[in-house]
Chains A and B, each alone.
Chain A
Amino acid sequence: MTRAQLQTAKLFLAAMPLGFMLPQTAGQQTDLTDEPTAIFEVEVDLVMLNVAVTDRRGRYITDLKPEDFRIREDGIEQTIASFGEGNAAPRQISQLRTRSSAAPEADVRSAVDDAVGGSLAGANVFVLFDTSNFMYRSFVYAEDAIADFIRGLDSADSVAFYGFSRNLTRHTVLTAAHGDALRGLRRSVAGDETALYNSLLLTLRDAAKVSGRKVIIVFSNGPDNASTIAPDDVGAIAEDEGVPIYVISTKELNKDPISSNAFRRITERTGGKAYFAKTWQRQSEAFVQIREELANSYTITYYPQPNPNRGWRSISVELAGEEHRRRRVRTRAGYRPKL
């Protein structure tokens, strides 16, 4: 069994008839008698959340415990399977086996291990650099900022460096050797058109194959003139895969509202963040903030409780306790289970 296969544990759920899912009102003519009760198979992913908790001033709240978090999916309370903070290795939580899971515990443990990267610490960071001609003027300064970011990553983090213009180029595939990523960065070539969302999709596909915590950081100035994929479709896939997207845009917020809005939407729904930084100093600051967020956010996994909803499921994460009342929790808004 491959690592990727292990990431998905198949649960066999006895489901209510399909008609149950749809709202009905009194007086409707319903003939359900000829509908057999269906047994259907749903692949339920282990759900991984990257959770950032901040106070009102945006400062990160650390040292929280698993019991501080309450997770609901479509309003159904969930049980945490593993928990990690920052770059520390995630740990499995006792009473892992929940009432929802019909899978053998060993399998579930193995799946959790695999999904969160076993006992490995650190995140898998995919840097996606816009080398299109729109970036021509700021190309070298952007490289400096990215180089600083890579140098400053925790040694436990792995990093991949990709560039894109009309097509994606994998300059350095995911590696723990940050020096290789710097070499990849210094090999990037200025290109032509900008297919940001196509390239982001391909980066997501790569990230999805990797176990453990992962994030994508996009460095771009926004206008996309070559993609055939819409940002919201990419955002939806990132949301499903649990990969937060961070965008550093070299355009000012109000200069290109269409790109800015798209950046905001896809970062927010995936639990990431958009930074609008025209100068290289601002860009460097944005990278520092992302690095800080990586170091101070939580990685939480759970197996979803039985849920007949085969479509989009909302996720809410709250902090239990009065002392956390004013704190902000940021994570992905939901996901669609694989059919």
Chain B
Amino acid sequence: MKRLILAVLAGAVGAFPVPLAGAVADALRLEREGRMMEARIELARSVERASDDAEARIAWAEFLDRHGGAGVVEAYRQAIEKLPRSEAGKRREMLRRLVPAALLAGDADAAREALNRLRGEDPSIWPDAARALQAPASFESTAGNHVVVPGVLNSFLRMAALSTDLRLEELLPALAQNIVTGGYRATGGPAGMEPTEYLKLIMQYLSQARELEQFAGADNTIDVPACESMETAQLLKILGFRLRGECGAGAVLETVNPSRAFLSIDSAFPLADLEAAYQRDEAFHLDYRASELPILFDRDYWLAGAKKAEGDFLDIFLGDPGLARLYVAMSRLHRPTAEALKAVSPVDRLKDYANVLDFFGAAFEVESGRAVAPGGDRAKAAWEKLAGQSTADGGRFFQRLIELDDGWLAAFYDALARTGGPARDYLTEPQRIERFYAAVRGKITSPGPARPIFRANAELLLLATRLHFNSDGSPYIPGGVEPWKNLFVKHPHGKYDGRLTRSANTWRSADDVIEAMFALCRKAIENEPLKIFLAVSNIDRRRSVPLAPATVERLILAFPLHGEQFALYNDSPNLSDAAITAHLDAMPRLDKINSYVRRADATGAFQALIGLWQVLRRNGAIPEAQADESLRAILAPFAQIRNQQAVFEAGRNGVLALLRAAGHEATEAPQEVLIELLAGDFGPGEDVVHRELVERMNRLLNLQRLIPLKTLFDLADHLERVSRGEAFNVAMANRLAANISEIRLPYATLSSAESNTLTQGHWVERHIRDQRTLNLRRAVDRARENPAQLLEIRGDLAPMLRDSLVGLLYAFYSPPGAEIIQANPLFIRSHDFLGPEARRGWSRARIQGFGWPNSGGGRIVGSLMTLPYGLASAEQNFMVPTERQALIWQDLAPQMLLGATVPRWWKIDPAELQFVGLHLRLGKLLLARAALDPAVLGEVMGHLRRRVEPSRLWKIGNAFRNGAVRDGVDVVTPAELFALAKRARESSRGLAAAAAGPHLEAIERLAARDPSKFNYDRAARLFGMPHPRLARSYSLELLNLPLFPTMMGYSSRILAESWESNNLFWAALADELHIAPAQLNLLIPEWTQRSLERIFATHLDDWPALWRSLRLIADEVRKQQRPRLEQEVQTALASN
């Protein structure tokens, strides 16, 4: 493979004989050193000085190409113009680059022109490129291929909650999806289903729109010639308004029919313009043309399956949820597969299995009439046996698959189709296909996995895609079979399954364990063993020494109560078994503290210290060599918590342990040092951003009026001296009191009704009240004669120490804005470490209660280990969407925010941003070349197939065939582009040749320069995403999974975690605009939040809306930043 790349590079280099001119060489050197702006200026200067020099212009064009800069097409064109006639080879190469660059820039004319010139020199090149270069055909309606939507299309989209960003052909499937998920509700009565308010309003709107259409007449224009006219009365009647006041300045619209008026407003009829026309006594005109939306197949096909076949198609569609479900399913299908199914199965028969097809059909693929089953030829017979149908007839095979067993085989097929690499090899071994399917299916198939409104087989997908494997291809079973056998035989958490409990005694191999896991996937209830299995497997995944079986047993036992804490072991993967066990031992000890107050304080301080340790380990402030010792030093004092004084001492010792491990033992300013450490270890020139982060954290802590650690420690020391006879320093106590006295309590001003309803929680209130009422002076006075009692007073500082430590983590993980912390001065103090019945201290953090007074001002309940998600979840309520459908993903937005706030980017070489950017651009280039060359298309599709489902692959190919190259590129996510480019580098086949060019050259140059810096592990660690659910880790990674759909029990959270694109995309943008890497610490959170506010999604699986939103924000950033780049270049040129 390497040989081939070198050959390709040699070819490229051969086309550009060195040496380049001195200035160009200098520029390239600067670029290699990561001094992008200087390189840009040097190249611009060399072009300016020698505007006829083709080499300078080529270097400039290649620089723009490498960085995705604007004007790359023009730069290549100019370079080509300057090439002497004798340089035919070089010209050909430049034209070869220009064609895809122009396609990606959306400039089809430039692409065609370049291709024509290229063909003049090389007639055989890209013979099939014409289709990609043609102008995309617009939809042409014929009888039966469309549905008519009356009135203004945007009004209909608004009423139907459809994004205006959708293409025409995407609208009907999206409408069908909304009908399925939100159009009907079960009544429980004989009628079965009744329309929801959403659907009723659409129907009422359509009725009003048809009236308006009639009013508009044959010319499709609503015309009101004057205020005082018959038309005014007619129009206003339809709209539900009347005119108040005389025509002229005083004329205003007033509601007369609230139902109609509501529709007029909700559909955004231009009432304000109409009113203004009346006030000016002018005519009013509105184009009221109906729209035609393309129908998949044709209208007759769908009518054949409709409950009612007469009337308007749109009304029939809205009134038949089963038909809508089938429409969704068929639209999602790989088109040739849909055609094959349509050919063998009547529509009404397919309709009966539309739910199965909808959830699992995206993985079905028919190629040349045959079904392409996971596992290829080796697995074909097994699938045929299970389905009872040959794969030779693809349509019948999939028909059988969906009809067989209420969807279990389809779900199993879908799960296996999403696997790749060793998982695919292992799971599609024919005997295992049968064995594991039998386990999943069980004896009773109903209810099937496609019955609920959202997919219910999340566990099946997670098991298939998240299994880990040994180097010999066998599945990795942490601790061996024995601990898992014990989980079922001894069932310490209760019996999971009687049959498995009986059979577990006979387990011998990994297959036995995996089979049991598959068997549990069919249960609708929470699948605890699988969760344990995946959680423990994740811990071992990154360890150099696997967990000992005894540790695995401990983890299994600990999971139900303390499983959320396992992320700690993932973020520091080489912790010793002893340290893990010590941590596992410490948690139940805290749970046994009888006093709720002390337990909450001890748990809070403990979790905060562990959380701080985790951050400092992740960012390297605590070196790996110190990991074990420092963790044990934090844990040890929490072993014996007999009183509040011990809580305080444990907290304080924990702080000292952290500082010691990070090399700051002797500091006089513990809080300041900790904040500096949390902000991260910055490099030269990065101090301004670092200071901004530090100030941001300090600001939040001040707003919450948390007591600085030094104040608490000084006071504790002073109390200790007082116990030995020193005079009490009232001023010191007063400083503490001054901080606390300003804390406002939410219930101080409340009515009794509010107080009674307020559910802030007794222990939270008491925690805050105890601090407010603390009077150290009085306590010292009372204990004056008793040194032991004087010492105990230090325990009164424990709640404050807990809050100050917890506050550090809140400040670190706060998303941009941090509105809830800024507005609620009790937010951090209100963190509830007990929860209802004092059982939520270790569970997932979540915002408790919404609304007044039930929220009591809002607080987070649960473990700090999951605080990043909890905080992001609270903060998403303060985002201001710009579109109506912006924030439909309540579980996706927090994960996106978390992915931007958890990482810190310091001491990063700008060339590392370029490394990522080059991959994304190379990925796009490969797609553009695939659009031009069927051979490359085959290679590209072959690689994309590993994580992109067949239906999307078909869409890409279809777009390429129809001149919509950019549309095809836009359905590939940045993470997929990155993986595609990586594959191209590793490929030994045609893909490597297709990838040749300045991007690949630059990547290879970087990799050769410093392999420890420019590699995929490091790129993933810098610009991947945390996966708190999928990997139980906050470390950044790229798991390279297929995009998960929205799933029951997980909503869109695992979709969000499998979407790994954001940071890769922002890194590439920063490279393009030569933004310093440290700036990303401020910019990525801001860009992420803006992109979430700009999402215009239609339904929960509409991830393309997220991708569109990222591109939109990137365009805004470019618009803002490009003038700066240009200005800097011009200033530099002018200065010489």
**Given A179-B272, A228-B847, A237-B823, A18 and B734 touching (CB < 8 A)?**
yes
Q: Which chain B residues lie closer than 8 Å to A93 at the CB level?
A: none
Which of A168, A186, A261, A336 has the largest count of B CB atoms less than 10 A from its CB?
A: A186
Distance in Å: Cβ of B1005 to nearest Cβ of chain A: 44
Tell whether B234 is near chain A: CB-to-CB under 8 Å.
no
With both chains docked as a complex, state the minimum distance between the C-beta of A243 and any C-beta of chain B, in angstroms.
Answer: 14
B823 contacts A229, C-beta separation under 8 Å:
yes
Report B-chain residues with C-beta under 8 Å of the C-beta of A209: none
A202-B880, A226-B877, A229-B820 in contact; A188/B265 too (CB < 8 A)? Answer: yes
Kindly state whether residue B886 has any CB partner on chain A within 8 Å: yes
Mask, B738-767, CB within 8 Å of A = 1, is 100110101001110110010000000000
A6 at the interface (CB under 8 A from B): no
Q: Does B819 contact A (CB under 8 A)?
A: yes
Interface presence of A321 (CB below 8 A) = no
Q: Is the CB of A233 within 8 A of B851?
A: no
Q: CB-defined interface of B831-865 with A at 8 Å, one 1/0 digit per residue?
A: 00000000000000001001111111110000000
- Choose among B729, B738, B858 the residue that contacts A228 (Cβ–Cβ < 8 A): B858
* CB-defined contacts of A28 to chain B, threshold 8 Å: 730, 777
Instruction: Specify which chain A residues have a CB less than 8 angstroms from the CB of B754 in the assembled complex.
Output: 258, 261-262
Q: Are B730 and A24 in contact (CB under 8 A)?
A: yes
Contact A257 B751 (CB under 8 A): yes
**Does A227 lie within 8 Å of B850, measured CB to CB?**
yes
Q: In the complex, which residues of chain A have a beta carbon less than 8 angstroms from the beta carbon of B271?
A: 186
In the complex, per-residue mask of B262-305: 1 if CB is within 8 Å of any chain A CB, else 0: 10011010111101100000000000000000000000000000
A187 adjacent to B877 (CB under 8 Å): no
Is A151 an interface residue, CB under 8 A from the partner?
yes
How many whole Å from A52's CB to the nearest CB in chain B?
22
CA distance A18 to B887 in the complex (A): 47
Which A residues are CB-close (under 8 A) to B730?
19, 24, 28-31
Across the interface, name the chain B residue whose C-beta is closest to A190: B266
Select the residue from A190, A197, A258 with max chain B CB neighbours within 10 A.
A258
> Chain A nearest CB: distance from B63 CB in Å?
36
Pick the interface stretch among A107-115, A136-144, A211-219: A136-144
Whether A29 contacts B727 by the Cβ 8 Å rule is yes
Across the interface, A139 reaches (CB within 8 A) one of B265, B777, B820, B886, namely: B265
CB <8 Å contact, A311 and B753: no
Contacts of B954 in A (CB 8 A): none
CB-CB under 8 A from B742, the residues of chain A are 311-312, 336
Q: Which residues of A contact B270 (CB under 8 A)?
A: 186
B1011: interface (CB < 8 Å) = no
A258 touches B261 (CB 8 A): no
CB-based contact B850/A226 at 8 Å = yes
Q: Which residues of B contact A225 (CB under 8 A)?
A: 850-851, 854
CA distance A257 to B854 in the complex (A): 14
Give the nearest-CB partner of A205 in chain B: B819
Which B residues between 873 and 907 are near A, CB-CB below 8 angstroms?
874, 877-881, 884, 886-887
Q: Report how far A231 CA is from B749 CA in the complex, Å.
A: 11
* Cα separation A228 to B849 with both chains bound (whole Å): 8
Nearest-neighbour CB distance to chain B for A117, whole angstroms, equals: 24
Q: Which residue of A lies closest to B158 (CB)?
A: A189
- Complex Cα–Cα for A236 and B878 (A): 18
Residue among B729, B738, B751, B850 with most chain A CB within 10 A:
B850
B858 close to A229 (CB less than 8 A): yes
Residue B737 CB within 8 A of the other chain: yes
The verdict on A31 contacting B252 (CB below 8 Å), with A166-B877, A233-B857 known, is: no
B877 and A31 within 8 A (CB): no
A148 lies within 8 A of chain B by Cβ: yes
Contact, CB under 8 Å: A230 / B258: no
Supposing A22-B737, A202-B880 touch, asked if A183 and B272 sit within 8 A by C-beta, the answer is yes
Please judge, given known A-B contacts A30-B731, A261-B754, whether A167 and B852 are in contact too, CB under 8 Å.
no
Give A224-247 interface residues, CB cut-off 8 Å to B. Answer: 224-234, 236-237
- The yes or no answer to B702 lying at the interface (CB within 8 A) is yes
> What B residues does A54 contact at CB under 8 A?
none
Question: Nearest Cβ distance between residue A42 and chain B, in whole angstroms?
Answer: 13
CB-based nearest A residue for B890: A166
Rounded to whole Å, the gap between the CB of A139 and the closest CB of chain B is: 6
Give complex CA distance A230, B856 in Å. Answer: 7
Q: Are B252 and A147 in contact (CB under 8 A)?
A: yes
What separation, in Å, do the CA atoms of A193 and B534 have in the docked complex? 36
B713-742 residues at the A interface, CB under 8 angstroms: 727-731, 734-735, 737-738, 741-742
B1079 contacts the other chain (CB 8 A): no
Q: Are B855 and A233 in contact (CB under 8 A)?
A: no
8 Å CB interface, B805-841 against A: 819-820, 823-825
Bound complex: CA A188 to CA B878 (Å): 19
Is the C-beta of B1040 less than 8 angstroms from some C-beta in chain A? no
Distance (whole angstroms) from the CB of B832 to the closest CB of chain A: 14
B750 contacts across to A, CB distance below 8 A: 232, 261
Q: Which residues of A contact B878 (CB under 8 A)?
A: 198, 201-202
A148 touches B252 (CB 8 A): yes
Chain B neighbourhood of A34, CB < 8 A: 729
Interchain CB contact under 8 A, A230 and B824: yes
Complex alpha-carbon distance, A161 and B727, angstroms: 61
Asked if B254 CB lies within 8 Å of chain A CBs, one says yes
Q: Report if A182 contacts B (CB, 8 A).
A: yes
Contact of B258 among A140, A187, A312 (CB under 8 A): A140
Q: Which of B234-252 contact A (CB under 8 A)?
A: 240, 252
User: Is residue B208 within 8 Å, beta carbon to beta carbon, of the partner chain?
Assistant: no
Q: Is the CB of B265 within 8 A of A140?
A: yes
A265 in the interface (beta carbon within 8 A): yes
Can you name the residue of chain B whose Cβ is closest to the Cβ of A339?
B702
A144 contacts across to B, CB distance below 8 A: 253-255
A24-B730, A144-B255, A257-B753 are known contacts. Are A232 and B746 too (CB-CB below 8 A)? yes
Closest to B261 in A: A140
B154 CB to closest chain A CB (Å) equals 11
* Interchain CB contact under 8 A, A186 and B738: no
Taking the closest CB of chain B, its distance from the CB of A55, in whole angstroms, is 29
Q: Is the CB of A187 within 8 A of B268?
A: yes
Contacts of A339 in B (CB 8 A): 702
Nearest chain A CB to B1065's CB is how many angstroms away?
Answer: 24
In the complex, the answer to whether A189 meets B266 with C-beta atoms within 8 Å is yes
Q: How far is the CB of A133 from chain B (nearest CB, A)?
A: 9
Q: A144-B254, A224-B851 are in contact. Are A182 and B744 (CB under 8 A)?
A: no
Complex Cα gap A230–B824 (Å): 8
CA distance A232 to B751 in the complex (A): 12
Residues of A within 8 A of B777 (CB): 28
When chains A and B are docked, how far (Å) is the Cα of A41 from the Cα of B730?
24
Q: Is A322 an interface residue (CB 8 A)?
A: no
* B734–A229 CB distance below 8 A: no
- With the chains together, A187 CA to B266 CA distance in Å? 7
Asked if B731 and A19 sit within 8 Å, CB to CB, the answer is yes
Which one of B731, B820, B824 lies within 8 Å of A17 (CB-CB)?
B731
Enumerate chain B residues within 8 angstroms of A187, measured Cβ to Cβ: 268
Contact residues in A for B276 (Cβ distance below 8 Å): 179
In the bound complex, CA of A31 to CA of B858 (Å): 41
Contact: A151 with B252, CB < 8 Å? yes
Binary contact track A162-195/B, C-beta < 8 Å → 1, others 0: 0000111110000000010011011111100111
Query: How far apart are A269's CB and chain B's nearest CB, in angstroms?
Result: 9
21 A-B pairs whose Cβ atoms sit less than 8 Å apart in the complex? A19-B731, A29-B727, A31-B727, A31-B729, A32-B731, A141-B255, A144-B254, A151-B252, A166-B887, A186-B272, A189-B158, A194-B851, A201-B819, A224-B851, A226-B877, A228-B874, A230-B853, A231-B852, A258-B754, A258-B757, A262-B754
**Nearest 9 A-B pairs (CB), nearest first?**
A228-B858, A230-B857, A225-B851, A183-B272, A140-B261, A19-B731, A140-B255, A186-B271, A182-B272
Q: List 4 additional contacts besides A197-B852, A311-B742; criterion CB under 8 Å.
A: A18-B735, A229-B823, A232-B750, A261-B754
A residues with CB within 8 A of B: 17-19, 21-22, 24, 28-32, 34-35, 137, 139-141, 143-144, 147-148, 151, 166-170, 179, 182-183, 185-190, 193-198, 201-202, 205, 223-234, 236-237, 257-259, 261-262, 265, 311-312, 336, 339
